[in-house]
Amino acid sequence: MPPLVVPLLLGVTLLGVCNSQPICNFNDLLQNLNLSDAPEMRMRPVRDWMTPSVVLIDMSLYTILSLDMRLQTITTFIWFTMAWQNEFVSWNPDEFCGIKRISVPVELFWKPDLYIYEMIEDEDKSPVIPYYLLYSNGTVVNSKPLRIVSTCNLDMFKFPFDIQTCSLSFGPYLHSVKDLIMLPKSNSSTVSALSRTVFAGKGDWTLSDISVLNTTYDSDGEKYSQVIYKITIKRTPIIYIINLIIPACFLLFLDIASMFIQMGTGERLGFKITVVLGFSVLLLILNDLLPNSDSTPVLGIFCTVCLAVMVASIIGSIAISYMLTESATQPDVPLWIKIWVLNHLARVLRFKKRSDKEELVTVVAVNKADSSDGKKVEKNLELCEKRKISQREARGSLEAKLLKRLLAEILKIHYELNLSKNEDDAKSEWYMAALVVDRLVLILYLVTVVIIFAIVIIVWAK
Ligand SMILES: *[C@@H]1O[C@H](CO)[C@@H](O)[C@H](O)[C@H]1NC(C)=O
């Protein structure tokens, strides 16, 4: 053998070995499967039309993009998978270099007419994945992310401590149960566990649970199979506590504190009205958040009651200020006020009124005593004068006249003093009535606030 021949032979044999191992590509497989121009691929892929196609579906909740409380819609982003059997496609992986699955363009295949019953917007904002996965046993897997805008009945009663349950019902729109059966691939615990690991909360909501239900939906005597995912989410209330509840409580406490500003002054009224203004700003914010129908949230009731109490206390303050002005022009307290406010109410509110009354009584008694004394003195003086006149007629006529005039003046002053004292007494009665009313308003205020606080806390804690 010439020395050149050995490497040549070696090369040829090596080349032969390489050729015997087939180079695989997907086109061979596709041509072998004859997918591109097979009309049966676009029909429901069963050999016997009576056999229904079974579609297994699965999903994980990735995030909640938004939840509109006014429109009652929820926008979710899910990872969705459905799988079904194509009876016309299968191959032996050993014949094709062990290829077990390929991705094929979606146009080549029939696909289930999946519909989400709660959906209210087209899913055109979902990313498009233009391929299916095709397995060697004929399983077709359609896996895609979905952005879903769906309706959700929101129960806002416990806002912002509410828990919402929204459903996503997957089912065929056209095919009845005779043609197409949808079944969940995973049970509730698996779906929940998986979703919890992938869930990306944006801080507003935390995922509590997802439960899976498999039912049928009746329409026109036909049954349609349905897989329902019930998503339970819980609101993170901290932002509402900081922005709404705490400021509302602060304003309420401010308003209560303002009851201790001196009563009857414009200062108190002005302060209260400023607080009410601040409170109404909070109400505006709340109004923007809440839906305008359905169950009123307990927070809204709370704010309304608080506002009502504030307004009532302002009216109370106005009444008190009216009473104090009235005392200046109309010294006598009307009888009904005397009876109802100064007697009954004061007793109910445990007013320490007796000491004042006793004081009043003593003052009046002293006054009376004074006036009677004055009259006696006057008479005595007159008697004395007469005697004096009889004794020394000529000498003291001038002095007597002067004295008389002095006496008259003193009596006049005395009379006026008495009058003003009585007026003061009347004024102090008005003042007492105002005090009683003030305390009544304060007590009613505190009682209402405590009751509404208790109700709200009970509702939230339930
Ligand atoms: C749910 O499915 C998983 C695996 O598929 C299984 O381990 C688990 O026991 C199932 N749970 C229930 C409640 O059926």
* C-alpha separations of 323 from 266, 309, 356, 424 in Å: 14, 21, 19, 15
- Compute the distance between CA of residue 28 and CA of residue 115 in angstroms, rounded to an integer: 35
Instruction: Name the token pair of 105.
Output: 């363009």
Burial category of 441 from C-beta neighbours within 10 Å (exposed 0-12, middle 13-18, buried 19 and up): buried
Residue 12 in any domain: the answer is no
**Distance of CA 191 from the midpoint of ligand 1 (Å):** 10
Residue 221 in any domain: the answer is yes
Claim to verify: residue 278 and residue 227 sit in the same structural domain: no
Q: Which of 102-106, 202-206, 282-286 has the lowest mean pLDDT?
A: 202-206
Instruction: pLDDT band for 377, please (50, 70, 90 cuts).
Output: low
Range of the domain at 118: 20-236
For the chain, the domain total comes to 2
Claim to verify: residue 232 and residue 263 sit in the same structural domain: no
**Distance of CA 132 from the midpoint of ligand 1 (Å):** 27
Claim to verify: residue 170 and residue 266 sit in the same structural domain: no
Claim to verify: residue 171 and residue 259 sit in the same structural domain: no
Return the residue whose CA atom lies nearest to atom 5 of ligand 1: 186
Domain final residue pick, 236, 271, 300:
236
| Contact residues of ligand 1, CB 6 A cut-off | 187, 189-190
Return the residue whose CA atom lies nearest to atom 13 of ligand 1: 189
Domain final residue pick, 236, 263, 280:
236
Residue 222 in any domain: the answer is yes
Q: Which of 22-36, 133-147, 314-328 has the largest mean confidence? A: 133-147
Return the residue whose CA atom lies nearest to atom 4 of ligand 1: 190
- Compute the distance between CA of residue 222 and CA of residue 218 in angstroms, rounded to an integer: 6
Ligand 1: which of 56, 186, 187, 191 to mutate, most ligand atoms within 8 Å of CB?
Answer: 187
Residue 243 in any domain: the answer is no
Claim to verify: residue 231 and residue 364 sit in the same structural domain: no
Q: What average pLDDT does the segment 73-79 reach?
A: 93
Claim to verify: residue 160 and residue 278 sit in the same structural domain: no
Claim to verify: residue 69 and residue 156 sit in the same structural domain: yes
Give the pLDDT of residue 389: 60
Domain final residue pick, 203, 236, 269:
236
Residue 313 in any domain: the answer is yes
- In terms of Cα–Cα distance, which of 136, 128, 130, 139 is closest to 104? 130
Claim to verify: residue 173 and residue 230 sit in the same structural domain: yes
Own/partner long-range contacts of 245-249 (Cβ < 8 Å, ≥24 apart): 245/160, 245/299, 247/282, 248/279, 248/282, 248/302, 248/303, 248/306
Claim to verify: residue 300 and residue 179 sit in the same structural domain: no
Q: Work out the mean pLDDT of the chain and round it to a whole number.
A: 84
Claim to verify: residue 221 and residue 328 sit in the same structural domain: no
Residue 3 in any domain: the answer is no
- Compute the distance between CA of residue 337 and CA of residue 320 in angstroms, rounded to an integer: 13
Return the residue whose CA atom lies nearest to atom 1 of ligand 1: 187
Residue 456 in any domain: the answer is yes
Q: Tens digits of per-residue pLDDT, 171-216?
A: 999 999 999 999 999 999 999 999 999 998 777 899 999 999 999 9
Q: Return all residues near 85 (Cβ < 8 A) that are at least 6 apart.
A: 45, 53, 54, 138, 139, 140
- In terms of Cα–Cα distance, which of 145, 215, 206 is closest to 177? 215
> What's the residue count for the chain?
462
* pLDDT of 331 strictly over 90: no
Q: Tens digits of per-residue pLDDT, 384-419?
A: 666 666 666 656 788 889 999 999 999 999 988 888
Q: Return all residues near 183 (Cβ < 8 A) that are at least 6 apart.
A: 54, 55, 56, 57, 214, 225, 227
Q: Whole-model pTM?
A: 0.74
* pLDDT of 55 strictly over 50: yes
- Compute the distance between CA of residue 39 and CA of residue 304 in angstroms, rounded to an integer: 67
Return the residue whose CA atom lies nearest to atom 14 of ligand 1: 187
Claim to verify: residue 133 and residue 47 sit in the same structural domain: yes
Residue 15 in any domain: the answer is no
Claim to verify: residue 258 and residue 232 sit in the same structural domain: no
Residues 40-60, buried b or exposed e (16+ Cβ, 10 A)?
ebeebbbeeeeebbebbbbbb
CATH code for the domain of 216: 2.70.170.10
**Distance of CA 186 from the midpoint of ligand 1 (Å):** 8
Instruction: pLDDT band for 18, please (50, 70, 90 cuts).
Output: very low
